[in-house]
Amino acid sequence: MQQSDFDPELAANLVGKTVLVGLSYRRGDAQAPARVLQRHGRIVHVSREMGIVVESPDGMPFALPPDLSRLTPAAAGDYRLQATGEVVQNPDYLCSYEIQEREDAGA
């Protein structure tokens, strides 16, 4: 993302919205992800410097890259988290990321 791509007005309007995030971790050139993680929460801060800061339901914050184009409006409805079965009702936004893990990660 280039500096000029960041929209401060849009960023300000995201604060208070809810987001469901999907993270797919890949190793090597495998087609299937090594693991998938889903997180959700309320957006509490957005800036170029800190990215999109989300507070999860347990109060712990996590940060996403400041690329606002990754957020897409979510269709109304219930979203069930694969790992926990927890249901997220009517999130405002969805986003997903693919993370390439190093081969020696965790070694």
Per-residue pLDDT of the chain (107 residues; tens, 9 = 90+): 444 578 999 999 999 999 999 988 777 776 766 677 899 999 999 999 999 999 999 999 999 999 999 999 999 999 999 989 999 999 999 999 987 777 665 54
Residue 78 near residue 85, CB atoms below 8 Å: no
Return the amino acid letter for 18: T
Q: What is the pTM of this model?
A: 0.82
Q: Domain boundaries in the chain?
A: 3-99
Burial class (CB in 10 A: 0-12, 13-18, 19+), 46: buried
What 3-state class would DSSP assign to 81? coil
